[in-house]
């Protein structure tokens, strides 16, 4: 099999959650443990940081990896979902796992894993952990796939556990209240391991505090630590952060939701810097210059995409992978603050999200281009248009993301603003289309 045939095989033998939703979700760690034992427990061969949460865990994971790379460590990074290429999920110092490595993994190991009938994510996690061991990384930043307690990444014993925040998402699997969701996320808290919680709510705060106390884990509530004291936009893009212990740090990422992410990241760095061996030596050496470089060059160092990503300047075109009400509370605020002649929003969602809650916060003065991403879970664009009209959002329906984007672009002048989002799959389709278009040129 070549690379594309191998990926097609993986998608078919182990259905992908992003394609079919909860039917791809496998509860429990039995397959993960079987795979891990088969490969000789690779996750025990390097240090780890574990990152969970409803929103922000991707940005936090990538930035932590960028900082550690800048400090001179060889860093594995495991995230999901991918946007364009499966290999985005598994990186070492920003470099994606090689195509041949993916091919060889499937070719050499399918006789073992096929009888297990693992989920796609279980296979991807096993591949990532093995790859990091093969590459002899010093440390890996591991993003939880779904929830935490029963997520297959939860076999690691990290230096620090991070929980960014809790919002309503994946309620079919994680529970229909914030408290229930928090219980699942809190499942990554390990005995004696420090935990950083980015944001809490009255429903979630006692869950985290009680779990940390039960596990004997020191807990830092980032919203009370206030590492970020103030912010100001940088004239060259991004955000400058005035911090408590790290001076002025320039952040490359422009989404206003990155302010809370940055506070969480800096609290995590503070915890990492405080870790010492029994002999009194620092577990990690993370100098100020590494922190500054990691924040200012995260996309170059790690390949991060889809976080208030600027696609073009004339007209200013931005895409963002935010896909639930927790994310859109910030995205909507930023959209309302955009100064432009005309705002055009290319928008689509998947059917198992709280669509009404998101539609309710979107700007009504924009012109909408409703679209359907190329996944089975995508809501039909005509149904999206009908539902949006009930919230005063007006526009036309298009079959594909690329069609909606090109219609918006064609109608725009240089001083308009185009936003593409609603789902990471909408962003994935856009980036794939733009990549193909660039190749053809």
The two tokens of residue 313 are 């300047």
Q: Are residues 20 and 61 in the same domain?
A: yes
pLDDT of residue 27: 62
End-to-end CA distance of the chain: 29
Q: Are residues 251 and 318 in the same domain?
A: no
pTM for the whole structure: 0.94
Structural domain that includes position 355:
309-440
Q: Are residues 244 and 370 in the same domain?
A: no
Last residue of a domain, one of 275, 302, 329: 302
pLDDT of residue 52: 96
Q: Are residues 297 and 313 in the same domain?
A: no
CATH label of the domain that carries residue 194: 3.40.1190.10
- Cβ-contact 63, 265 below 8 angstroms: yes
Helix (H, G, I), strand (E, B) or coil at 55: coil
Angle ∠(32,38,43) on CA atoms, nearest 5: 60
Around 87, how many Cα atoms within 13 Å sit in the side-chain half-sphere? 16
Last residue of a domain, one of 263, 287, 302: 302
The β-bridge relationship of strands 160-163 and 195-197 is: parallel
pLDDT of residue 352: 84
The β-bridge relationship of strands 239-243 and 228-233 is: antiparallel
pLDDT by residue for the chain (441 residues), tens only, comes to: 999 999 989 888 775 534 444 444 456 789 999 999 999 999 999 999 999 998 999 999 999 999 999 999 999 999 999 999 999 999 999 999 999 999 999 999 999 998 888 888 999 999 999 999 999 999 999 999 988 888 999 999 999 999 999 876 545 556 678 999 999 999 999 999 999 999 999 999 999 999 999 999 999 999 998 899 999 999 889 999 999 999 999 999 999 999 999 999 999 999 999 999 999 999 999 999 999 999 999 999 999 999 999 999 999 999 999 988 988 999 999 999 999 999 999 999 999 888 999 999 999 999 999 999 998 889 999 999 999 999 999 999 998 999 999 999 999 999 999 999 999 999 999 999 999 877 665
Q: Are residues 323 and 217 in the same domain?
A: no
- Identify any residues that bridge with 90 across adjacent strands, giving them in sequence order: 78
Last residue of a domain, one of 281, 302, 323: 302
CATH label of the domain that carries residue 314: 3.90.190.20
Helix (H) and strand (E) counts in the chain: 18, 17
Q: Are residues 100 and 151 in the same domain?
A: yes
- Cβ-contact 52, 185 below 8 angstroms: yes
The two tokens of residue 213 are 């106390």
- Cβ-contact 65, 75 below 8 angstroms: yes
Element (H, E) at 230: strand 228-233
| Gap between the Cα atoms of 304 and 61, Å rounded | 10
Q: Are residues 168 and 203 in the same domain?
A: yes
Instruction: Measure Cα distances from 17 to 20, 322, 425 in Å.
Output: 5, 17, 12
Q: Are residues 16 and 91 in the same domain?
A: yes
Q: Are residues 339 and 396 in the same domain?
A: yes
Domain count, the chain: 2
| Gap between the Cα atoms of 330 and 253, Å rounded | 14
Angle ∠(17,18,24) on CA atoms, nearest 5: 15
Q: What is the CA radius of gyration of the chain?
A: 21
Instruction: Measure Cα distances from 441 to 201, 407, 435 in Å.
Output: 50, 20, 10
Q: Are residues 109 and 255 in the same domain?
A: yes
The β-bridge relationship of strands 309-313 and 316-319 is: antiparallel
pLDDT of residue 80: 93
pLDDT of residue 106: 95
Crossing angle of helices 120-134/30-38, nearest 10°? 30
Q: Are residues 193 and 94 in the same domain?
A: yes
Residues 6+ positions from 12 with CB-CB distance below 8 Å: none
Q: Are residues 256 and 385 in the same domain?
A: no
Which of 296, 402, 291, 299 lies closest to 346, judged by CA? 402
**Nearest-10 Cα torsion for 13, 22, 432, 406:** 140
């Amino acid at each position: 099999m070549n690379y594309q045939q191998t990926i097609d095989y993986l998608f078919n033998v182990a259905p992908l959650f992003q394609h079919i939703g909860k039917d791809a979700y496998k509860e429990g760690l039995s397959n993960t443990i079987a795979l891990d034992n088969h490969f000789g427990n690779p996750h025990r061969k390097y240090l780890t940081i574990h990152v969970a949460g409803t929103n922000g865990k991707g940005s936090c994971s990538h930035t932590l990896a960028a900082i550690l790379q800048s400090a001179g460590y060889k860093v594995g990074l495991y995230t999901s979902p991918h946007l364009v290429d499966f290999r985005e999920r598994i990186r070492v110092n920003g470099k994606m796992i090689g195509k041949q490595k993916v091919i060889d993994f499937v070719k050499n190991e399918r006789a073992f894993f096929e009888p297990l009938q693992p989920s796609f994510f279980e296979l991807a996690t096993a591949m990532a952990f093995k790859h990091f061991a093969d590459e002899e990384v010093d440390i890996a930043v591991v993003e939880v796939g779904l929830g935490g307690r029963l997520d297959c990444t939860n076999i690691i014993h990290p230096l620090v556990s991070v929980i960014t925040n809790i919002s309503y998402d994946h309620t079919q699997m994680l529970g229909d209240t914030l408290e229930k969701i928090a219980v699942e996320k809190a499942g990554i808290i390990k005995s004696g391991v420090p935990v950083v919680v980015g944001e809490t709510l009255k429903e979630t705060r006692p869950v985290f505090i009680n779990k940390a106390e039960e596990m004997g884990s020191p807990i830092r509530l980032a919203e009370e630590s206030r590492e970020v004291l103030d912010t100001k936009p940088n004239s060259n893009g991004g955000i400058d952060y005035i911090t408590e212990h790290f001076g002025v740090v320039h952040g490359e990422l422009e989404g206003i939701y990155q302010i809370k992410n940055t506070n969480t990241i800096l609290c995590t760095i503070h915890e990492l810097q405080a870790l010492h061996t029994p002999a009194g030596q620092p577990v990690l050496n993370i100098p100020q210059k590494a922190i500054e470089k990691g924040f200012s060059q995260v996309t170059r160092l790690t390949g991060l995409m889809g976080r208030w990503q600027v696609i073009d300047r004339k007209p200013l075109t931005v895409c963002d992978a935010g896909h639930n009400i927790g994310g859109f509370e910030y995205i909507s605020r930023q959209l309302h603050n955009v100064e432009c002649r005309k705002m055009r929003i290319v928008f689509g969602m998947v059917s198992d999200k709280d669509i009404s809650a998101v539609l309710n916060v979107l700007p009504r003065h924009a012109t909408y281009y409703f679209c359907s991403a190329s996944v089975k879970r995508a809501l039909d664009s005509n149904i999206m248009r009908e539902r949006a009209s009930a919230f005063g959002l007006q526009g036309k329906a298009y079959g594909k993301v690329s069609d909606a984007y090109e219609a918006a672009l064609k109608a725009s002048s240089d001083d308009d603003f185009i936003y593409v989002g609603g789902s990471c799959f909408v962003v994935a389709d856009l980036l794939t289309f733009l990549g193909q278009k660039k190749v053809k040129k």
